[in-house]
Chain A
Amino acid sequence: MKLSLFGVGDAGTRLVDKLLQAEVETGRNFTDGNVLAFNTAAEAFGETDTLPEERQILIGDTHSAVNQYVEPDADGPDTDTASATSRDHSPGVAGDPELGAEVADDELPEIRRALDLVDDTEVDAAMVVAGFGGGTGCGVGSVLLEELKSIYEIPVYVLGALPAADESDERAHTAARAVRTFVPLADAVLPVDNDAWARSTQPLTEQYDEINEMVATRMLSLFAAGESDPATVSEMRIDPADVMRTLAVGGLSSIGHASIEVDTSDEGLLARLMQLLGLAEETPDTQTDAATIKRLVRSALNSKLTLPCDIESTDRVLVILSGPPSDISRKGFETGRYLLEEETGTVEVLAGDEPLPNASEITATVLFSNVTDVPRIDELQERAVAYQREQDADTAVIDTATSIEGATAVAADASTAAPDDESDHPFEFHGTEEQQENGDAHGGDTVSPDADASDESTATDTPDGDATDGSAADTSADSDTATEDGDATTAAATSSDEHE
C-alpha cells in the first residue's frame, strides 16, 4: 500500500529518513515521495541522507521560547534533556510537549502550506512518525495528528519510539501522555520499545541507527508489501484493505518478524529452469515444505516484537509471507495462519503473500493489532505519575489555588476521553502547575500573537479560548475544548473531538 510519512522532531525525522533509505534499498516504493519532516530545531535535518531538503520544515524558529542555539557538543534535544539543567540550552522546545503543541498551533498556516506538498489522494494512509518522549514529537505531533485527521479521509497512523528506562522521567511522562493523546486521535498507533531492542553494553544513542533499521525493515515488510513489483500477481496477495481493516480497531499495535533462507543451490536453479521450460512435471524439492512455513510463522510469533506484549490480548492479526512464490507451500501458509488464530485466540486473522520471485529468503511479518496487555505502557505510566506528583509537590506550595481551579477545567475536558465511571474523578494532579511553570520559564509575555493564531486555526476552539488569566477559561462540562490556564499554553488548547 501507499503511505505518506510525516516525521516530527529529531527521532521522527531520523526514522523517516531511514524508512526512505530502506525504500530505496528494497525497491519497494511505497511513499511515492509523499514525505515531510517537521522540527523545531534544524539539527536533525542535517543528519538526513535521503529526505529531500525542501521537505524538511522548520517551525517555531521565531517563537521566543524556542531555542535555536545549538551548543557545539550538544547531543540534541532528544538525548540531552535527561538533565533538567541543560533544558534551557537545548535546541527546539527543550522536551516540552506543551510548548511543542503551542508552536505547532501558532504555525498551523505554515504546517498546512507544507501539507500541500503531499498528495493524500495518491496514498492509502498517512503516518505520523515521532519520538514519544520528545517535546517536538509529542507536542507538534499531536497537533499535526489532529490536523491530518480533520483534513484527511484516509486513516492516519502513528509510529514512534518509547523512551528507554535509562532516559529521564520527564521523557517517560511525556511518552505516557503521548500514548494518551495519540491513541484516541489516530486510527492506530505503533510504538517501538527501545528498551526491548537496546543492548545494555552500548549507550542507547549509539543504537538508534540499528533500532531504526529494525523498525524500517518491519514497516516496509508490512506496509510496502507488493510495492516492489506491482505486476506480479498472486492469488493470495495482501491488499491495502487487509492492512487497513486489521488496524481499523485502533489501539496499540505490535509487529513480529522472522526469515529463513531458501535453497538457491544449483540443483534448485536447474530444477526451476526445467520447470520453466516445462521439462519438469512436478515442483522440485526446493519447495519449502509446509512444516517449515509453519515454523517460520511460529518464529515470527515468538520473535522480539516492536512492542513486547501478550499476543493473546490482540484483537486482529495480519500475516504476510514475502518470498519466491514457487517456494512457499500453500498448506504451510494455511496452517501458519491457523496457528496464529489458535495462539492469539482471535478469529480475525488475515493472511497474504508478497511474491518476490528472486528473493533468497522467505520472511514472515505478523501484525498484532490492538494489543491491550502491554507491560511497558504500564511501567511508563507509573513512572510518569510518580514524576508528575513530584513536580506537583514542588510547585504546590507556590500556587495551590491556581492548581485547584485549573484542575476543574481539565476535568471537564478529560471526561470525553475517560470512561464514564471515571468522569467525576477529582483531578488533583495534572500538568497545570507544570505548564504554568513552563509558561513562566519561556516567557508568558508572548501571549497576544499566540492567542490570535489559536483563534484562527482551531475552528472548534471556544470563543473565550484567549482568556489570559491563570484560572480556568472554560468550565462548561459539555465542552470538549481543552482550554488550559497559563498564558503561553492557551494556544496549545485545541479540541480533542475533531477526530470523531
Chain B
Amino acid sequence: MSEAPKVTRQVARGFSAFGGERAAQLLPQARLSGPMPWVIAIMITLTVIAAAGGLALSNLASGARAELSGGATVQILQALPQERDRQAAAAEAVLADMPEVSGLRRVPDEELDALLEPWLGTGVDADAVPIPALIDVRLRGEASEAELAGLRSALADVAPDARVDAQSSWLRPVFSAISSLQWLAIALVVLLALTSAAAVWLAARSQLGGNRETIEIIHLLGGSDSQIARIFQRSIAFDAALGGAVGLALGLAAILLLGQQFSGLESGMIDGGGLQLVDWLLIAAIPLAGVVIAMLTARFTVLAALRKML
C-alpha cells in the first residue's frame, strides 16, 4: 500500500452546512412511487375544496348583507285595490321627501304577478286574492330598528295599512345557515391540516424506522440532530411539494367544475358566491402551508426521536 494521503486538519474541520442534494441522498428517494405524496395530495385536494367552499359562502353572505343592509320593504296590506293604490302613492310621496331615503321603487303589479305565478298561476283575480302593494326602499344607512321606526312613524298618517320591514330580516335564517356552513368549512380545514400533520408524523416515523441504520451512522460520525432533521425535512418537503401541486390541481379542477354547475342555476344569490383574487391567492397558498406543516412536523418528530439516542 502506498504512503498515506495527507488530509489536512483544515479540510477535516469545515464550516460548510451539510445539506442540499448531497444530504438528501442519504435517504432513499421514493418520490411519487411512495404513498406520502399521494396522501398529501388527497389532503390538499380536500382542503382546497373546503376552503373554496368556505370562502365562497363568506363572499355570498357578505355580498347579500351589503346589498340588503340598507334595504327596507313597505307593504300596503289593504284588500281594496283603490285604497291600496292611494296609500301606496301617498307613501311613495312621503318617503321620497325623507332625507334618509336614497331611493325607492314601487314594484310593478306585473312583476308581483310574475313572482307569485309559480304558486298562484296566471290570471289571478285581484279581488279574490288581494296582493299587497310593495315599495322597495333604499336607505342611506343601515336599516336599523330606529330607522324603521322613523319610516313607520312618517307613514302612519298617510298609509295606516303600511307595514315596514328590513329586507335582511327575511334572510336571517339563511345567513345563520351560511354562517354555520362557514364554521363547518373552517373546522374541516383545521381537521384536514391536523390529519395531514398526523400523516406526516407517521411517515416521518416510518422513514426514521426504515433508515435507522443510516441515522445511527451519521450520528456516530458526528452528525448533529439538526443536520439529521434537515435531511428528513428536505425529503418530506419535496414529497409535500409534489403532493401539494397535484392536490392543488385536483382541487382547482373540482372548484371550477362546481362553479360551472352553480353558475348554471342562474340564481342571483349564488352569483354573489364567486371567488375574488384574494381568495384564489389564499387557495394557492394552501399547498405552501401544507409544505410548512409537513416540514415542521417532520422536524419535531425526528428531533424527538433523536433525543432518545445519546
The judgment on whether A and B are partners is: no
